[in-house]
A and B are shown apart, each in its own frame.
Chain A
């Protein structure tokens, strides 16, 4: 120890400073939260995936075409209800298939959405971030996991995916029976349970994303049914997703008894719209 002090005494201040710098470069403690080499590799691998950046706007003309030309194989009981909905629609009394601000759910969110979404790749996951209905989102796990054996039933279900070349193949189960299979806001029925959905999602050109959706819904269909959705790419901050809040339209701005800003119940609306009931 005494020797070390004596050695130190012979070193110039500059040398001590240089040594200090070198020591900090070599023996710096590991950065808290640094990506592991394996995770860094996964992030690098994402650079090789196709470019799905930007904002994806549903092709509403295609949604209308699917409704017109691609009829689902409803079973006899379901077809009766659909026929009634069609009649009501024509007569200007559309059925409220999406009601109470419940989510569109899967796969209807992918089929009749009018609002945009963006798609984020991260290690082990593809995440779809939407605008409609409280900025709904889908998590698609691409880390090789299986579906849970007894999943909690949810509006978007449990989705796992894998890449086949530049196509993302997504398998979804665990969708709540109440989630609708809808071809429009006025034509559709609850899937009634045990639904299985497989999607093949890919770019068909630089700015078109295609989602081929095959739905097996044994409680309401006589056989599996395939429909296709398209999304057009928009780029630029003017197209950014904004906050979507389904229930807001039921309320008006107001203040509470203590003078704090709040929302107060507005008039009841016609069929979820802005037109007050009974006001002519």
Chain B
């Protein structure tokens, strides 16, 4: 009985850890700004949400799905972006700081929406 309780507690704690929300304002040092990388691709989703917007796109050539972080909707709004600045299906050219652990993720530095001709970067 005791062992079962212990096991149940462990499982419960494990689930809690998995479910624990992680969002917060964080440093961007997990991204390597010394290696800016420019890629082209097609937007899959543009998440216009606090505290960090994100751009999901499929890279040309490799076909990999990239998950790229940006800053908050407030900061981007003051830089001239809107929730419509990127739309699923738009072709983009994106310069990003890749995540240090490797893989298709990074921090957005500048995006050219080839479909609309708009260049998007943080302006304030």
Interface residues of A (CB under 8 A from B): 57, 89-90, 92-96, 98-102, 104, 114-116, 131-133, 184-186, 234, 238-239, 241-250, 265, 268-276, 279-280
Contact = CB atoms under 8 A, between A and B. Distances in A.
A101 B21 CA distance: 9
Interface string B77-111: 11010000000000000000001111111000000
The 5 lowest CB-CB distance pairs between A and B, nearest first, are A280-B103, A186-B27, A94-B27, A274-B54, A92-B100
13 contacts: A89-B29, A90-B29, A92-B29, A94-B30, A98-B25, A99-B22, A116-B78, A131-B72, A186-B29, A238-B78, A249-B50, A280-B101, A280-B104
A199 B28 CA distance: 29
Contact of A274 (B24, B52, B74, B104): B52
A279 B54 CA distance: 15
B40 interface: no
B50 A248 contact: yes
Contacts, number: 139
Interface of B: 18-32, 47, 49-54, 67-69, 71-75, 77-78, 80, 99-105, 124
A96 B51 CA distance: 14
B77 to A, nearest CB: 6
B22 A268 contact: yes
A132 B49 contact: no
Q: Which among B23, B26, B50, B67 has the greatest number of chain A C-beta atoms within 10 A?
A: B23
A247 B20 CA distance: 11
Contacts of A99: 22, 24
Given A101-B24, A268-B18, 4 more contacts: A92-B31, A114-B25, A273-B26, A279-B103
Nearest to A184: B27
A239 B31 CA distance: 28
A94 B99 CA distance: 12
Contacts of B104: 280
Given A234-B78, A275-B99, A249 B51 contact: yes
A185 B67 contact: no
A98 B26 contact: yes
A139 to B, nearest CB: 21
A246 B74 contact: no
Nearest to A57: B124
B74 A242 contact: yes
Contacts of B72: 114-115, 131-132, 244
B121 to A, nearest CB: 15
B23 A249 contact: yes
Q: Which among B27, B77, B103, B104 has the greatest number of chain A C-beta atoms within 10 A?
A: B27
Contacts of A270: 22, 30, 99, 105
Nearest to A55: B78
B21 A274 contact: no
Contacts of A244: 50-51, 72, 74
Contacts of B21: 100-101, 247, 250, 265
Nearest to A273: B69
A271 to B, nearest CB: 5
A269 B27 contact: no
A185 B30 contact: no
Contacts of B77: 238, 242
Contact of B75 (A92, A104, A115): A115
B67 A89 contact: no
Nearest to B55: A274
Contacts of B74: 115-116, 131-132, 241-242, 244
A271 B104 CA distance: 16
A67 B4 CA distance: 50
Contacts of B78: 57, 116, 234, 238-239
